[in-house]
């Protein structure tokens, strides 16, 4: 079970295998394995990305990957191990990454979700994200993707 406190920190290179396997099993199922440990290692080293993990004690329970652009950010991946879901750990990671995005000058954060993943869509809606479009070209054409966005700050007009 979850220890009293979870800690969010930047992923280390030693986390790459566990993050890659979690991505394969919880996000990329049925699509092939794109986010392999080698790819995760590259992302951890990438200057415009943050790869973060949440730990309960020494156990990795969640990870998130965000890419930062000039005025927007994209939540590339987010996964919580099944037995730790519905404990607000995923929300904590998203909010942590959003704070970094806001500091970097982003106005909006985007995320893409499988259309059939109603739980994920509801999760992001509860965090203030809205569906802005669907796209049949996502996920290698295997499944329709839902693009969601959340505004981080108001533009002054």
Residue pLDDT, tens place only, 98-156:
999 999 888 999 999 999 999 999 999 999 999 999 988 777 777 889 999 999 876 55
Give the pLDDT score at 143.
84
Give the pLDDT score at 154.
66
Contact predicate 108/152, CB 8 Å: yes
Give the pLDDT score at 1.
47
What is residue 119's DSSP assignment? H
Instruction: Measure the CA–CA gap between 149 and 11, rounded to whole angstroms.
Output: 25
Residue 69: count of CB within 10 angstroms of its CB: 14
Contact predicate 16/73, CB 8 Å: no
Question: What residues contact 87, with CB distance under 8 A and at least 6 apart?
Answer: 2
Instruction: Measure the CA–CA gap between 90 and 87, rounded to whole angstroms.
Output: 8
Complete domains list, the chain, with CATH: 6-151 (3.40.630.30)
- 7: tokens are 């800690």
Kindly tell me if the per-residue pLDDT of 2 is higher than 70. no
**pTM summary value:** 0.89
> What is the average pLDDT across 25-31?
86
> What is the average pLDDT across 59-73?
94
- Residues paired with 151 in a beta bridge: 108
- 47: tokens are 């200057």
Give the pLDDT score at 147.
96
Average pLDDT taken over every residue of the chain: 90
């Amino acid at each position: 079970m979850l220890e009293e406190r979870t800690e969010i920190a930047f992923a280390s290179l030693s986390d790459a295998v566990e993050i890659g396997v979690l991505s394969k099993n919880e996000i990329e199922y049925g699509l092939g394995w794109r986010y392999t440990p080698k790819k995760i290692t590259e992302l951890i080293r990438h200057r415009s990305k943050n790869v973060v993990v949440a730990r309960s004690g020494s156990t990795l329970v969640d990870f998130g990957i965000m890419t930062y652009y000039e005025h927007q950010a994209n939540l590339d991946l987010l996964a919580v191990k099944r037995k730790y879901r519905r404990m607000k750990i995923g929300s904590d990671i998203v909010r942590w990454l959003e704070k970094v995005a806001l500091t970097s000058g982003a106005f909006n954060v985007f995320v893409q979700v499988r259309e059939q993943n109603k739980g994920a869509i509801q999760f992001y809606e509860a965090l203030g994200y809205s569906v802005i479009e669907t796209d049949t070209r996502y996920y290698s054409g295997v499944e329709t993707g839902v693009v969601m966005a959340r505004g981080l700050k108001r533009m002054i007009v």
